[in-house]
Chain A
Amino acid sequence: MQKRFMAIWFRHLTTDWLTLRRPELKGAPFVFAAPERNRIIITAANPVAEAQGVYRGMAAADAKAVTTNLLVLDHIPGKEAKLLRQLGLWCIRYTPVVAVDLPDGLILDISGCAHLWGSEREYLKEIVNKLRASGYDSRAAIADTVGAAWAVARFGKTTPIIEIGVHAQALLNLPPVALRLEPMVLEKLQKLGFSTIKSFIQIPRTVLRRRFGEPFLLRLAQALGLEDETIKSLIPPVPYTERLHCLEPVRTAKAIEIVIQKLLEGLCTRLQAEGKGVRRATLKCYRIDGKMVQAGISTNRGSHSVSHLFRLFELQVSKVEPALGIELFLLEAPKVEDVNAVQEKLWAGNPGLQDTALAELLDRIATKVGPERIRRYLPAEHYWPERSIKPAVSLSETPTTKWHTDRPRPLRMLRRPERVEVMALLPDYPPKVFTYKGKRHVVEKADGPERIEREWWRDKGEHRDYYAVEDSDGGRYWLFRSGHYDDTPEWYLHGFFA
């Protein structure tokens, strides 16, 4: 398709914004200024100030001499980017690909969009009128290349719409500054008397390169369309998408399943060819009542297996509410990763954590009950019992340290230690009797104490003296006393031994 770009130029971006914020400034000359090399330099001037001869790059002191009632405001760093981003997001209603062009413009990729508004002229008029009505003085132009659109938007004098294939002619009469060149090069061009682009466009490239350098040639080629120029979209497009329009609105679960199957087949064929696998996928269902419902899945490792992904979505179908019917399905895979193509094995190897079947099982469980419920633990180098284990990030993560088993640890450990009433014969002796949940346990045997200090660099508090005790019924418990033995020692039950 023929590429078409639109460049929008905001002539007074920041000053327009301030006028909108503070309407009382309308009609008064004001400028933004920032210190630069010990001088206060104007960074932006509003139209009133410009009419009185104040321009960008002028020293604020000079400007004040020209205009007596000039208001000088501090330049707000980063404001342009913020404003342009907001305006760019607003422009997404006209095209999905909008890029910010600092410091004062936007670039829109409008290929295949303009006809929806009748013609390019209507389209441009619509955008510019809307922007102007909202208070931003803007100019726009449409051309085949980003460079040409940029140049015409700022320096064009005849028409803002450059028809397909004629952008080179449109550029001829414009000044060299329209090529987005560096100030040094511009100065040189001016010195040599090149006042328009046509005056140097015929000169051989080798000569131009010697005099003005490679960037100059690149800019020229980009404007003429000889060199590709990529723009960075505000909203990155999801590269892996499949869409399915339905002639009749779809309402039944079975039909939705068929749609998912069809979409997955398309997506997986592409992923397989590229050696990628889905980590996260979303099914967006656009209903005829204008609402959108979605269902998402995620996997533990990249997968391009239709049957597996379908089973994950199958668990989610019940959550998709079709209401009056769904007319458009969109399957997006925002997160994909490279997968190692596995060779079909004649016999399965050792079962383990690296098994595909296990990963698929965990995906299904995660889809049903939520991934936060599934945990695997690795040892951590801490003595404090609660910190001696840490959750593993992925299935492939292996322990970095040993599992320490030199000290007794209970098989079941309470999340939070529970207070128990205790009777001990002597200080620092294990308890003789303790009462837990109203039941009295007479301690027959005991091991300990094992003192575990707090990690002072992490938290404050008392150390713990742990005792492993066994009551007369054979129940084995892990008790600890918080802190030293004093008048009111605090005893806690922390776990149960097997």
Chain B
Amino acid sequence: MAEAKRELIERLQKDILQWEGYKPPPAGTQDLVGLGPVEVAFPNGIFPLGTVHEMVCSNTEQATACGGFVSGLLSVLMQNGGACLWIGLSGNLFPLALKPFGVEPDRVIFITLSKDKEVLWVMEEALKCARLAAVIGELREMDFKQSRRLQLAVEQSHVTGFVLRNESAKMGSTACSARWQIKPLPGEPIDGLPGLGFPRWQVELLRVRNGQPGNWVVEWSDGKFRPIEKQVLEQQKLLVG
């Protein structure tokens, strides 16, 4: 009985997703960006491309971790030779450091601006250009209306957008498909040797449209994401302790 109910609910959920515009996944799209368990949190278990993702960064360390995480995603998006636009306010991104994340730095066009308004204008204009692989915008504040404009732009062009924004006290809802927060975590030493390990982050999905928010630990090693399982983490904690 319970089994039958569960099946029914699952089918209903799938139907609802379909009515909302989420197509059932074609074969081979699972684990698209290599994030494993993180991708399962999204509707149909697919990392949504062609939408706008929002990333909350409360300080420079987090903004840098975010940059690393986004670069890792870019390496997949820019695989077939595409170019991307990185629009920022600070202009302190060091292109050379994108290379270890699998991004060709000379295919990234950097635009440094001074105002949020300009960033949003450029970003909207860029998101309308279907020939770009991705657009990344760093800004301070974004309200619902502005995020809606970006979302409308990508619906035509199917470009993936990432908005890196400051954390603010009153963070209202936005039209973005997901809200992330990436925090740096102490890395694990490689083979027990002293020194810095691979970059490791606490990847938090604060909000997902039609998905399950969650919390994971992800490492960037050997040119791809490596989600760390809970058991492994506890083991490592024990070792340290």
- Spell out A's residues near B (CB within 8 Å): 348, 350-353, 355, 357-358, 361-362, 364-365, 368-369, 373-379, 385, 388-389, 392, 398-399, 403-405, 408-415, 444-447, 468-470, 472-476, 495-498
Contacts and interface: CB of A to CB of B under 8 A. Distances in A.
Given A447-B195, A498-B69, A352 B186 contact: no
A87 B74 CA distance: 62
B111 A374 contact: yes
Contacts of B98: 411
A378 B106 contact: yes
B101 to A, nearest CB: 7
Interface in B79-97: 80-83, 90-97
B102 to A, nearest CB: 11
Contact of A474 (B106, B107, B186, B189): B186
Given A358-B83, A474-B200, A389 B96 contact: yes
A1 B90 CA distance: 60
B189 A475 contact: no
Looking at A350, A378, A470, the one whose CB has the most chain B CB atoms below 10 A away is: A470
Contacts of A404: 96
B50 to A, nearest CB: 14
25 contacts: A351-B132, A358-B132, A361-B125, A365-B126, A369-B118, A373-B112, A374-B110, A374-B111, A375-B111, A376-B110, A377-B95, A409-B97, A411-B68, A411-B93, A415-B92, A445-B197, A446-B196, A469-B196, A470-B196, A474-B187, A475-B61, A475-B184, A476-B61, A496-B60, A496-B64
A412 B93 contact: yes
Interface string B174-211: 00000000011111010000111101100000000000
B131 A497 contact: no
B125 A365 contact: yes
Contacts of B109: 362, 374-376
A402 to B, nearest CB: 9
Residue of A353, A377, A444, A472 most packed against chain B (CB within 10 A): A377
B106 A376 contact: yes
B121 interface: yes
A364 B122 CA distance: 9
Interface string B125-154: 110011111000000000000000000000
A351 B122 CA distance: 19
Contact of A351 (B68, B118, B133, B195): B133
Contacts of A469: 196
Contacts of A446: 195-196
A385 B131 CA distance: 32
B220 interface: yes
Contacts of B91: 415
B44 interface: no
Contacts of B189: 445
Nearest to B194: A445
A399 B81 CA distance: 15
A405 B94 contact: no
B213 interface: no
Given A369-B118, A445-B186, A476-B184, A376 B108 contact: yes
A348 B131 contact: yes
A495 B94 contact: yes
B81 A412 contact: no
A369 B64 contact: no
Interface residues of B, number: 58
Contacts of A475: 61, 184
Contact of A445 (B95, B104, B130, B196): B196
A249 B122 CA distance: 34
Nearest to B109: A376
B100 interface: yes
A468 B196 contact: yes
Nearest to B80: A350
Contact of B61 (A365, A398, A403, A496): A496
Contact of A352 (B83, B92, B111): B83
Nearest to B133: A351
A79 to B, nearest CB: 49
A378 B80 CA distance: 20
Contact of A411 (B71, B80, B82, B196): B71
B193 to A, nearest CB: 10
A351 B83 contact: yes
The 6 A-B pairs of least Cβ separation, nearest first, read A498-B68, A413-B94, A475-B61, A496-B64, A474-B184, A357-B131
A474 B95 CA distance: 23
Interface string B36-75: 0000000000000000000000001101110111010000
B125 A375 contact: no
Contacts of A362: 109
Most buried by A among B101, B129, B194: B129
A498 B220 contact: yes
Contacts of B227: none
B113 interface: yes
A404 B61 CA distance: 24
Nearest to B121: A368
A338 to B, nearest CB: 23
A355 B131 contact: yes
Given A350-B82, A369-B113, A409-B97, 19 more contacts: A351-B82, A351-B83, A357-B130, A358-B132, A375-B112, A377-B105, A392-B106, A403-B106, A405-B100, A445-B195, A446-B195, A446-B196, A473-B186, A474-B61, A496-B60, A497-B64, A498-B68, A498-B199, A498-B220
Nearest to A495: B94
A404 B96 CA distance: 8
A147 to B, nearest CB: 56
B23 interface: no
B11 interface: no
A352 B107 contact: yes
Contact of A447 (B65, B112, B196): B196
Contacts of B94: 385, 389, 409-413, 495
B97 A476 contact: no
B219 to A, nearest CB: 11
A322 B119 CA distance: 30
A391 to B, nearest CB: 9
A411 B97 contact: yes
A497 B66 CA distance: 11
